[in-house]
Amino acid sequence: MKILGHRGLPRLYPENTMKSFLAALSYGADGLETDVRLTADGIPVLIHDADLLRLAGEDVEVGELKFKELKDFNVGGEPIPTLEEFLSAIPPGKWINLEIKEPGAGEVTVEFALSHYDGQLIFSSFEHQLINELKRKYPNAKFGYLFDERHENLTLDEVRDLFREHTFSAHLPIEFKILDSKRFSEMCNLVKSLNLKLVLWTVNEPALISDIKELVDFVITDDVRLFL
């Protein structure tokens, strides 16, 4: 089971900052999960929210700012890193899960990451159509589907169809196990029957997966120290 820092180590440092990422690795994390969006001038940057309200106190959209304008803002005193800065700073050989937050960031993220990082790259998104398109264009890359309440009406057959070709992983929220244990179990069993990787997010209580550890390939957590 691989342990990935969810946006780094946000229990100690501001999320999706280089300080947070490097802290998670310093505790022995196998890799990192982060979020990619584009600025108005097409620079991939690492930030979860579409706007800066929660993180920087400004009600402005990331996609409406050019990168030089985004640099005027910070998250807890730390700059918002670019994808280039991130990949340049992370040691080779780590597992990096890049969650693509918007369709426009898809090809830019995949193209850049594949050519700039020597390690294991997983590209995931809640935008399933985007993943379908990227899988066709990059059949040798690793792609995963993220699931949440937006996909609760999908049948198992529809999920199976999503996984049909060039799929590496399925990413399920740990809350799913609590809210609908039967459906969660069905999804996990489907994933494993297709020899895909099972990724659980955001697992902040190890006891929640004590009974299914043998099924889990990746845990994404806010505090990697809980598992290391």
Domain hosting residue 118, numbered range: 2-226
pLDDT at 152: 87
Written as one letter, the residue type at 129 is: Q
pLDDT at 9 over 90: yes
What is the rounded average pLDDT of the residues 77-92? 98
Record the pTM. Answer: 0.97
Total domains present in the chain: 1
- What's 119's domain CATH number? 3.20.20.190
Complete DSSP assignment for 160-219: HHHTSSS--EEEEEHHHHHH-HHHHHHHHHHHHHTTPEEEEE----GGGGTTTGGG-SEE
pLDDT at 29: 98
Q: By CB neighbour count within 10 A (0-12 exposed, 13-18 middle, 19+ buried), where does 187 fall?
A: buried
Backbone CA torsion sign across 67, 97, 26, 227:
positive
Query: pLDDT tens digits for 94-135?
Result: 999 999 999 999 999 999 999 999 999 999 999 999 999 999
Rounded to whole angstroms, what are the CA distances from 68 to 50, 73, 78, 131, 138? 17, 10, 15, 30, 31
Mean pLDDT of the chain: 97
